[in-house]
């Protein structure tokens, strides 16, 4: 269970943790869809296409364990 961002970063590391945190912010906080986030992140060169798919898969897997986002 991830009760705070520090736990996420400690478990996933800085690089992956910050990418997952970006997806948390855009999806769970701002309410954007996967397609909207993918388009925006690729346009701004935050992710490469394959990296986005892999990171989204991880995010989708741990999404139910993220407890600090209300």
Residue (of 21, 52, 18) closest to 38 by Cα position:
52
- Single pTM value for the model: 0.89
Average pLDDT on 6-27 reads 94
Average pLDDT on 52-56 reads 97
Average pLDDT on 5-25 reads 94
Res 68: pLDDT: 86
Res 70: pLDDT: 63
Q: Name the 3-class secondary structure at 2.
A: strand
pLDDT band, residue 37 (cuts 50/70/90): very high
How does the average pLDDT of the chain come out, rounded? 94
């Amino acid at each position: 269970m991830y009760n705070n961002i520090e736990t996420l970063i400690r478990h996933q590391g800085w690089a992956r943790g910050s990418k997952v945190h970006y997806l948390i912010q855009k999806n769970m906080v701002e309410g954007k869809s996967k397609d909207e986030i993918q388009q925006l992140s690729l346009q701004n060169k935050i992710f490469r296409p394959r990296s986005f798919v892999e990171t989204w898969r991880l995010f989708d897997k741990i999404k139910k364990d993220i407890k600090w986002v209300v």
